[in-house]
Structure 1
Amino acid sequence: MTNPLDFTGKRVVVIGGSSGIGNGMAQEFRKAGADVLVTGTRPDSGDYLEAEDSDFTSLSYAQLDLNDRDAAEGLAAKLGPVDIVIQSQGTVRYSRGEFQREGWDAVVDVNLNSVMDVARAFHPKLTEADGSMIVISSVAGFKANIGNPAYSASKAGAVSLVKTLGAAWARDGIRVNGIAPGLVPTKLTTVTTDHPERLEGALSQIPLRRLGTAEDMAGAAMFLASPLASYMTGQTLVVDGGLTLS
């Protein structure tokens, strides 16, 4: 019997796969046999090895700055066939920076505008492959996130975009789904995870009483990209240890 989670022969592109959740997902797909390309903003993957807890073993790397609205099309044009695109790019501004126009624009550009830019750029390749796209949003897209209006609004927008593209692109053979992680240790969440009192308070709100991991998110992504989820599109899976249950 064929293993539905065997991705041998599949080409996976992980946008924002140079660190954090995206990097963890990239490694799990690689272990499952896929040929995986990750992108990051720095010129070379080696630039991440000291500053980030990243693993580039057997991964390909491409620099991609999504502040350039045409960059995703340029990357897609250079690549051959692509079966799966995972969008894991993201940013946040703390200290109420998102209430200012500059902070708002910067966060929305990365967390929402670039998601559509990437989707548009890879649409032809995913059509050819009857492929799958997975958008990583956040549980912040389902609730108020005091202090971060752009982050919450952009993640809510990403959840809505998954629904719309899932419906619009089904006719092209493309399945579009998403994952909304809860609290996972990344460079964006150190404001909580690196402060014991804040972390203790956060864990008290999570029924499973632990942080999420990149591997937790990768398991959901592999399911969504596999034949096991062949009748799913437009859905965002909440993977949060029960955080949003109360």
Structure 2
Amino acid sequence: MRVNKAAGTVLGTLLFSSIAQAGITSTSHVYEVNGIAYEGYVAYNSNVEQTRGTVMIIHDWNGVDGYEIRRAEMLAAEGYTAFAVDLFGQGNQPQSMEENRQRTGELYADREEFRARLMGSLAQTSEIPGATDKVVVMGYCFGGAAVLEMARAGADTQGFVSFHGGLGLPEGQNYDSVTAPLLILHGSADPVSGMQDLASLLDALQEAGIEHHAQVYGGARHSYTVFGSGDYDLAADRASWSALQAFLARQLH
């Protein structure tokens, strides 16, 4: 979780500036799920003849903002088409910690609606500029938990990546319907989902016979990838980004 993703750091500013010079084309993308409008964000590299594949990004608990936009443009700079999806609705982004909890709590309490928004957003990947039929889904914090929800729901993708997500298994769910490999990237000092939760998740994936990979970053706390946050860990951020790149190259080849 994070309070202010838009603040960033000098490192983030320099990174953003270098990306802006790489021929990145970006635009908002409004779409509907069950008659409700949602507003996501698309980025792709106009300097490459063919995208390397599509990456769907699921936002943290305060919705799509500068953090997801930056990550989308980082992926576009690597040659992928990135689509940061919206699970809260156009014009319905949280404005406070209380609203963050409210929006995510509503989805956690209504798993059917949660999955409808996730699957509806996934269906939109075929409509975005530079789309491909191969998609990997990734997410941070709340988005990491949403990635696992999609996996359990049997979403048809080429892979799932959770960055410091909530790892608990909701009552009545299992991993029997997972269709693609999972990559779990987590900090050993995460107070939200600790090592016991990670071990339980890996046991469940092993029991279900699902291909899975995990990297644990010693001492990294919950929001270790979030530029400017108190939890930010440069070494863990760089290592997890490298792990993502290797996973994407393998699953979207």
TM-score class normalised by the smaller sequence: 0.3 to 0.5
Structure with greater contact order relative to length (CA < 8 Å, sep ≥ 6)? 1
**TM-score normalised to the size of structure 1?**
0.45
**TM-score normalised to the size of structure 2?**
0.44
Structure with the higher fraction of residues in strand conformation: 2
